[in-house]
Amino acid sequence: MTLLPEPIDPVPVTVACVHGIGECAVALSMLEAAGVSVVVHTGPFASLFLQMMTALGGMRLQVPAHQAELAIDVLAAFEPVPKARPGFFAILGIILLFVFFHVPPPDSGFFAARPVARAGRASYPLMPAPNS
């Protein structure tokens, strides 16, 4: 008797949004250690164009719908270490960099998302039944 693999949910659920590669690695490790299957949406793009993560809204951590509750509980236990605020000259440098070179300031942070229930929809147009 062969065991069939667990069916894959057709629509993944976003449980968190991260803006840094390090924060993404920590959250990904925590979820995988808890046995949650996780996919990083826009992860490969972030490794190439990290400065675009602000425009894209960060990297979304998506899990199967049946594991969303466990993933939210695991991520709720995560308390990041607060960072020191940048000084006056660092803020001035960021503003000048944005004004002259149009480079947005780097985003950082770990933001938990509440899952939103979605209705599935067909990926193909419904064909009318043939007249018989």
Domain extents in the chain = 13-112
Q: pLDDT digit string (tens) for 32-55?
A: 999 999 988 877 777 777 777 777
pTM over 0.75, yes/no? no
> How many CB atoms within 10 Å of residue 50?
14
Q: What is the pLDDT of residue 122?
A: 39
Averaged over successive runs of 10 residues, the pLDDT of the chain (132 residues) comes to 58 84 87 92 76 77 89 82 79 87 70 52 42 52
Q: What is the DSSP letter of 48?
A: H
The backbone region for 74, taken as left when phi is positive above 0, alpha when psi lies in -120 to 50, beta otherwise, is: alpha
